[in-house]
Structure 1
Amino acid sequence: MLVNTEAKILPIAQQGEAVLAQVAQLVIDPLHPSIQTLIQDMHATMLAANGVGIAAPQVFQSLRIIMVASRPNPRYPDAPPMEPIAMMNPEINWYSDEMCLGEEGCLSVANTRASVARAERLKVTYINQQGETVESEYSGFVARIIQHEVDHLNGVLFVDRLDPDLM
């Protein structure tokens, strides 16, 4: 996915903003120009902030859209490279029983990183940017990104998953 040179860097909602606590709405028309523009703007915003994923609620749009784009950057120097994927209306259909701990941060939770337990593997069904339904399996760091971003669509921040006794 190439970033459109006209893509805008959008403001990122911060912990405590109402949009981050809401369950996001389904995307009805994935090919609508406003949705396609939003995806481009989300990608540009994520890149500018050195993120590896972003969800539409993080840019004040309560829609079920996530961007998954693992790549090495200053926040995640060991992230595996992948082609960015926009996922609309993602549904995680299966989680592995195998869990793994991994450090997470969030563009909406400034200056906080913590270890979070997530499923090692998952299967997800989503609508891609061309309007096609796709089912794929992911593992490791990319599976972690997907779980983190889908949480955003359900009004959950990664800090909500932390054991308060360990903070």
Structure 2
Amino acid sequence: MAIRRILTCDNPADLAVLKRVSTSVEGVDAPLRALMDDMLETMYAAPGIGLAAVQVGEPIRVIVMDLGDREVEGDVQDTAEDDEARRNPRFFVNPEIVWTSDELFSYEEGCLSVPEYYDAVERPARVRLRYLNRDGESVEEEAEGLYAVCIQHEMDHLEGVLFIDHLSRLKRERAMAKVKKALRDKAA
């Protein structure tokens, strides 16, 4: 496994890749599992709870996610050991949302490709999704709470959409300025 570079929205070349619509994959094989393992290691190192393949420069319809035992309320981490013990990695190949609830849910989102910026995004509270798992088996299930937020956020990436695209133009511009400043400060 290897940690890959996460593309960020402040870099024009990265942004061009992030804005691409990802393509479906033929099926789950050893090279795809190796990519998913790299993505998972990259996500844990960042740290994050979800990562789409396009965020590491691979515009294909693949997502990894690990919510551990987090709930929408009380998302507190105690120690690295606690976090590792709670790991529950999930793999989504060619995911699709087949149903969404009319009820909406607002959650303050962040993104590894939009570092150091968080804002509330309103999304359907529940969704039903269909995907292939790590073993290539077809799965259909419902998601709600943080799981529903995260899967919708990651699936947006597969369509070339960042969470800040759901915000007003003014908030989007503010987000981009904040990201550029944070990355400049980090490099200094």
TM-score of Structure 1 vs Structure 2, range by shorter chain: 0.7 to 0.9
Q: TM-score, normalised by structure 2?
A: 0.78
1:100 and 2:119 matched: no
Equivalent position of 2:51 in the other structure: 54
Distance 1:137 1:109 in 2: 27
Q: Which consecutive unaligned segments of at least 5 residues does structure 1 have?
A: 1-6
1:134 and 2:139 matched: yes
Aligned-residue RMSD, C-alpha: 2.1
- Written as runs of structure 1 = structure 2, the 5 A alignment for 1:15-94 is 15=9, 16=12, 17=14, 18-31=16-29, 33-71=30-68, 78=75, 83-94=88-99
Q: Which consecutive unaligned segments of at least 5 residues does structure 2 have?
A: 78-85, 175-188
> What SS class does the counterpart of residue 143 from structure 1 fall into?
helix
Equivalent position of 1:13 in the other structure: 7
Moved more, 148-157 or 20-29: 20-29
Relative distance call for 1:82 and 1:135 in structure 2 (3 A) is farther
> What SS class does the counterpart of residue 37 from structure 1 fall into?
helix
Structure number having the greater helix percentage: 2
TM-superposition CA deviations, 1:116-141 (whole Å, max 9, x none): 00111100000011011100101000
Runs of 4+ in structure 1 over 3 Å off: 79-82
Distance 2:94 2:102 in 1: 24
Q: TM-score, normalised by structure 1?
A: 0.88
Greater C-alpha radius of gyration: 2
How many residue pairs end up in the alignment?
Answer: 158
Q: Which amino acid aligns with 1:100?
A: F
Distance 1:53 1:102 in 2: 15
- Are the counterparts in 2 of residues 79 and 141 from structure 1 also a CA contact under 8 Å? no
Q: Which amino acid aligns with 1:64?
A: R
Match of 2:154 among 149, 155, 166: 149
